[in-house]
Amino acid sequence: MRILVTGGAGFIGSHLIDRLMAEGHDVICLDNFYTGHKRNVLKWLGNPYFELIRHDITEPIRLEVDQIYHLACPASPVHYQYNPVKTIKTNVMGTLHMLGLAKRVKARFLLASTSEVYGDPEVHPQSEDYRGNVNTIGIRSCYDEGKRVAETLAFDYHRQNNVEIRVARIFNTYGPRMLENDGRVVSNFVVQSLRGQPLTVYGDGSQTRSFCYVSDLVDGLMRLMNGEHTGPINLGNPGEYTILELAQAVQKMVNPDAEIIFKTLPQDDPRRRRPDITKAQTLLNWQPTVPLQEGLKLTVEDFQNRIASAEEYRLASI
């Protein structure tokens, strides 16, 4: 099968490409390298079944494919707030272009949506029928509302043009290849502890998140794409941890002497976040299998290797 992955050089996209290539598919990776990196797909360069195209999906492109995994969009607050207009253009215009491509070539289309469509939820845990509590004009709106519009577009193309769609609402995901500077809580804590810096907790640390290891998420995405259910379907780990608990787990694993400091909570930061994955369990026969401690260990090892390699390169260039 010929499969397009937008944002394929990013954190989740590159892990998805690894799985698709291992299964023998013909894969096209489309990325503008705003947050993605060539090193994530380096091992596939030169493979006759892999193609890398540098392209910004806010511009149209013509390709022939059977499936489209649409993951392209900066997903961490640091990056999507850096250029909010670009973020919403990616979500709206980029999704329009990819849905138009799916319509033309009759490809099945999977939208990587987000738990951010639930905003700061008043219902806990969050199930797919909850419509959310989102600030339409806040600093996170470019991403939150952008993804909500992307879902609207997907369902309108499905109803109006019979495009086969799948919509995944992705909750917090972590693992190897996360960017060091993406501002997400797992990478923040791991990098700070490895560098001997204080671990920064925003607010009092009582806000909660769920953490899904990337291999589990990729399995869920592929089950959704190749199944019979349109969605939206939540994909995430229902285990719920406070941010302070996560900080303490990383502290204990990496640097027990690291200090934990507290700073002001950012605007619209959700107080609680946990997926109801009943639909994924019943319709996709999917649930996460990697425990947090195991996933954190693998993530820490990846960051250790990258930080060590960067230091070796710095010293060699002096």
- The answer, yes or no, to whether residue 106 has pLDDT greater than 70, is yes
In this structure, are residues 9 and 212 in contact, taking their beta carbons and an 8 Å threshold?
A: no
DSSP state of 81: T
Q: What is the arithmetic mean of pLDDT over 37-47?
A: 97
Beta carbons within 10 angstroms of residue 280's beta carbon: 26
pLDDT value, residue 95:
98
Q: What are phi and psi of 9, to 5 degrees?
A: -95, 5
* pTM of the predicted protein model: 0.94
**pLDDT tens-digit readout, 124-177:** 999 999 999 999 999 999 999 999 999 999 999 999 999 999 999 999 999 999
CA distances 318 to 195, 306, 311, Å, are 20, 19, 11
In this structure, are residues 8 and 14 in contact, taking their beta carbons and an 8 Å threshold?
A: yes
Q: What is the arithmetic mean of pLDDT over 50-79?
A: 94
**CATH number 3.90.420.10 is the correct assignment for the domain at 2-173+214-237+269-289:** no
DSSP state of 277: -
d(CA 291, CA 249): 13
In this structure, are residues 43 and 22 in contact, taking their beta carbons and an 8 Å threshold?
A: no
Q: What is the DSSP string of 17-69?
A: HHHHHHTT-EEEEEE--SS--GGGTGGGTT-TTEEEEE--TTS------SEEE
What are the extents of the domains in the chain? 2-173+214-237+269-289
Residues catalogued as catalytic: 143
